[in-house]
Amino acid sequence: MDAAMQANQQAMMAAQQANQQAIQDMQLASQTAMQQMQMTQLANEQMTNAMQPYWWGQPGAHPGINTTMLNGVRRTDAPQLSKNTGVYSSPVTVRLKDHKQGAAIYYTTDGWTPTRLSTQYTGPITISSTTTLQAVAIAPNFARSVVSFATYIFRTNPPLVPATLPVQSGADGTLVVASEASIPLVFAQPLDSGTAKAGDPVSFTLAEDLKAGDTVVIPKGTLATGKVVRAVPVQPGAEPGRIGVEVDSLTLGGRTIPLHRVAVLEGRIDPAAQDSRIAAGTALTAVIPAGTTLPAPPR
């Protein structure tokens, strides 16, 4: 084989490899764009559901401290918690009771205000570490209840379980998140529903190292970003303020890693309406999608 033919074959092979690489790059870009679109749709759906007007029911329903008829809609009574705030030395079992036939109760234990996207109460809740339990009731044709809450304090909490990520080895030493996973964040700044505006940027940091086995994949303190998606200051008539935030991504090794989570925090209504205030250091759990590619951890 003469040199010219060999050079021609090498050029053809190089062109084929370049074409295959271009196709792979296009497929990856298409998959990334689709994933981002799906995450945006999910965030929009979450926001639509989570940030329903505080007085859920007929549009324009306004608060009344009791079940007063307002604009043709009565508010659902707040659910009753079987255990009050206090200090406990052993696990407690809490039962929630509604006062309206057909009402559904939703609750949270992570400090965030319950919505119809939260866990629905179906039976007793066992609490064994310091926790604030919050619950709301929603009944057909009634406005959503105010928030019932209690804090259960345990002097000795169980040790934290090391945070791990389900990952698989990818190309070029990268790692691929095998299944959707939760990651712990904390707010790097305070927020107040009286001053925040929709679109304001929000900064978070990773609360603890995320590991794959004994290897740190994402180190504690890694910066994550998001935004305020809605901020409503305290309203006349005892309607509390509320803030909705969305987590967008974190930056790792020069790459933008997509995240998603929409959460709502509402001020207290009793004894007086308050703005919603989020202190720096407040915990928030975000989600990293399955299929996300992470840079190879440093050796």
Helix (H) or strand (E) holding 229: strand 223-232
Q: Given this model, what pLDDT does residue 242 score?
A: 86
Q: How far is CA 163 from the centre of its chain?
A: 17
205-249 residue pLDDT tens: 999 998 888 888 899 999 999 999 989 888 766 578 889 999 999
Residue 171, φ and ψ in degrees, nearest 5 = -70, 150
pLDDT tens column, 141-166: 787 888 888 989 887 755 555 578 88
Domains of the chain: 74-154 (2.60.40.10), 162-294 (2.40.128)
In tens, the pLDDT along 172-204 reads 778 889 888 888 999 999 999 989 999 999 999
Would you report the helix, strand and coil content of the chain in percent, each value rounded to 5? 15, 40, 45
Question: Whole-model pTM above 0.85?
Answer: no
| Per-residue model confidence as pLDDT tens digits over 14-59 | 667 666 665 655 555 555 445 555 444 444 444 444 444 433 333 3
Q: Which residue has the tokens 């529903």?
A: 193
